[in-house]
Amino acid sequence: MLVLSAATGKFGTNVHIVAPGRGAPCLIVDPGHDAADAVAETVRAHRLEPEAILITHGHMDHTWDAVPLARRYGIPAWIHPADRYQFGAPAKGLPDTFPRELLVGHPDQEPEQVAELPADGGELHFAATRVTVLHTPGHTGGSVMFHFGDADTDAPLLATGDTLLAGGRGRADAPGASPASLEASLRTVAATCPGGTRLLTGHGPAGTLSQTGIR
């Protein structure tokens, strides 16, 4: 599996591109602020064909460039229904103390094509790869993780958003967050995913599940 990642924009959010190889269909995960140009350059360099945008949760630093990328490639953005409202109302997912000037320039609208992820998790089948959606509420009510490939793959990949970072569990102190739900979600992930699962995190370095200390 070809995985290309970059930290972009003023929030340093990781955007990930996942494909079976060069010259193949690809999936774009969490295109944040200033991600569009980096994604376009990577797509050109590796002759990729974007098939869909996958959003791990609705916070604006993970959705910022979903609108221009969805328009550019004519593809849908997939998001959990509980977080969909944040496309058009990014401030609602943030604490009152968050500096509102940092929202200047956000599209404040949905992409032209939006598809809702299965509310309780499930499988999606793309030309690029099979994706298992895990509903992992806690950081937000609609947080999800994306498992790429077959369940028995030798090097499983898991896009974790901000629910699980290389250093451990994510935060659960913004509107719609739930510390109890976050802990329950992480217990489920720890029980169902092998320790060698490679994490494609929302911020910071990549890592493996065993390195996070949750299992």
Query: In DSSP terms, which residues pair with 57 in a beta bridge?
Result: none
Residue 93 sits at the vertex; the CA angle it makes with 137 and 140, to the nearest 5 degrees, is 5
* SS3 state of residue 68: helix
Mean pLDDT, rounded, for 37-65: 98
Query: Is residue 103 predicted with pLDDT exceeding 90?
Result: yes
Domains and CATH numbers, the chain: 2-211 (3.60.15.10)
pLDDT given at position 214 = 85
pLDDT given for residue 148 in this prediction = 96
Predicted pLDDT of residue 167: 92
Determine the Cα–Cα distance for residues 190 and 188; give it in Å rounded to an integer: 5
pLDDT greater than 80 at residue 20: yes
Q: Dump pLDDT digits (tens) for 114-173.
A: 999 999 999 999 999 999 999 999 999 999 999 998 655 557 899 999 999 999 999 999
Share of the chain above pLDDT 70, in %: 97
Average pLDDT over residues 66-93: 97
Torsion angle of the four alpha carbons 146, 162, 38, 64, in this order, in degrees rounded to the nearest 10: 100
Which 3 state secondary structure label does DSSP give 130? strand
pLDDT for res 164: 97
